[in-house]
Structure 1
Amino acid sequence: MIHRFLIAALLVLPSSQTFAASEPRSINVSGSAEIKVVPDLILLDVGVESRHAQLDQAKRSNDENLAKALAFLKRSGVPDKDVQTDFISIEPSYQYDYSSTKPQIYIVRKSIGIRLTRIGELENVLTGLLSSGVQYVHGIEFRTSQLRKHRDAARALAIQAAKEKADALAAELGVRRGPVLNVSESYAGGWWRSGSRWGGGMSGGQMAQNVMQNSGGGEAADGETISVGQISVSASVSTSFAID
């Protein structure tokens, strides 16, 4: 019985060595690239807030301010399809004595989502909204409508970087880069956003100033204080090449 066991073990061992020897030698590398593009799409998120001891009055005041903001957007030529009410809240606020069952005031809030395709009108739209019942600028997001195109361009540069890195490694080792064994990709960027929600400590003109300071790049036209700057689109690839 002992001799049979040893023979079986000896027969299995060569097959394991043969399998290990058949694994291809490879070089594993990664490449990344980043491109800068000028945004051609802006998403605005603004809010209207009203406070009053009477619920009906708080709601009426909020509706009036919201109507003024929507009327301004229509006069400015923003299409109806690019304007949407995306948040509604009615909140009773009580005194510090939580045993009180009667609200001290009612807070009514509504937000409007706006899509701007005429980038040069950003400052005029912001100024007009803040003069037409809007108290909060929750967010300003710069985007590119050609995200797929820019991602493809960044990926091509990342692949080229990976190939050059693999060639450099192979040359140092005295071998040659062979065919691709596997590859994976990832992406980031394509937008830039600044903002806060209700009571986040940033509203109105302060929000606009923050965007101007942080968007970077790109000069504003004469008299304008907001620059749309540039946004980043990046791609990374990880790949393995066989060694010839």
Structure 2
Amino acid sequence: MRLSRTSVAAALVALLALGGPALAAPTAAALPVRPAAVPADAATVTVTGEGSASAEPDLAVVGAGVEATAKTSQAAMDTQSKAAAALLAAVRAEGVADRDVRTESVSLQPVHDYTGGAPRLTGYQAAQSFTVKVRQVARTGAVLQAVTDAAGDAARIGFVVFGVSDPAPLQARAREAAHADARAKAEQYARLSGRALGRLISLSEDASTTPRPVPAAGDTPGAGMAAVPAAPGEIRATATVTAVYALV
């Protein structure tokens, strides 16, 4: 038996009216969601944006320590411990909180004299190193001086680095500058091409440099130091992005 087109249409209408699941219209949730594709022949412009931001440092990190040499290991450790205690007392007197002082290493090793070829034990060297965070940058020089005054010839200054306690806002400003730079370049290229700048298609961060302090001093013995000037300078963060815009 052959059904006419009219009969088939009537049957479908009846099934839909009955709520037949097989013929129910798909819901919005069942439809696949696909990102809007860029037509293959669409005109685009790809640009690189660079940005930077600067700030005054609000933190100094000092690498300080003590070192002592003696005939016996016990004597070396005793001398080192006494110098370390004096160092810690001095930085605390300068207003540095206990949470901002951390022991980085403690060492004890033999000292040999290699004159004549065969090594000859001459004593022992004991050392201890600390990192000291100075949250009042203007006090950095005073802390350095306090270390050398307290520990004397045993004092060692390994480094002084400056930075920011919270680098996130500075890095965010660098990213904003990079984004603005990319858009300004894209607008210029669109204008030169006789087009208008369309929507942003893609954006990726190529590189960013989290604000990092730069070493300001080498390994310097403490003896003989008078006033200790410190120049914090400026902390800088940078960011580079690649952006693709449509041209309309």
Give TM class, smaller chain.
0.7 to 0.9
Structure 1 position 83, deviation (Å): 0.8
Distance 1:178 1:106, change over 3 A: same
TM-score (norm 2): 0.75
Structure 1 position 146, deviation (Å): 3.1
Structure 2 CA distance for aligned equivalents of residues 66 and 130 of structure 1:
11
Report the equivalent of 2:150.
Answer: 132
1:17-96 to 2 correspondences below 5 Å? 22=40, 24-96=42-114
1:133-172 to 2 correspondences below 5 Å? 133=151, 135-172=155-192
Structure 1 CA distance for aligned equivalents of residues 222 and 150 of structure 2:
14
Structure 1 position 54, deviation (Å): 1.1
% same residue: 22
| Letter in structure 2 aligned against 1:157 | A
Structure 1 CA distance for aligned equivalents of residues 141 and 197 of structure 2:
53
| Letter in structure 2 aligned against 1:188 | T
* Structure 2 residues without counterparts, runs of 5 or longer: 1-37
| Letter in structure 1 aligned against 2:241 | V
Matched, 1:111 2:121: no
* Paired residue total: 207
8 Å CA contact 2:50–2:240 kept in 1: the answer is yes
Structure 1 CA distance for aligned equivalents of residues 105 and 86 of structure 2:
17
Residue number among 191, 202, 205 corresponding to 2:219 in the alignment = 202
Structure 1 position 49, deviation (Å): 0.8
Give deviations 1:168-220, integer Å, cap 9, x for gaps. 11111222222122111232141322167xxxx730469x99xxxxxxxxxxx
8 Å CA contact 1:137–1:195 kept in 2: the answer is no
Structure 1 CA distance for aligned equivalents of residues 169 and 85 of structure 2:
39
SS at match of 1:103: strand
8 Å CA contact 1:195–1:202 kept in 2: the answer is no
Matched, 1:121 2:139: yes
Structure 2 CA distance for aligned equivalents of residues 26 and 126 of structure 1:
57
SS at match of 2:215: strand
Structure 2 CA distance for aligned equivalents of residues 53 and 32 of structure 1:
59
Alpha-carbon RMSD across the aligned residues, in angstroms, is: 2.7
* Structure 1 residues without counterparts, runs of 5 or longer: 1-19, 210-222
Higher helix proportion, which one? 1
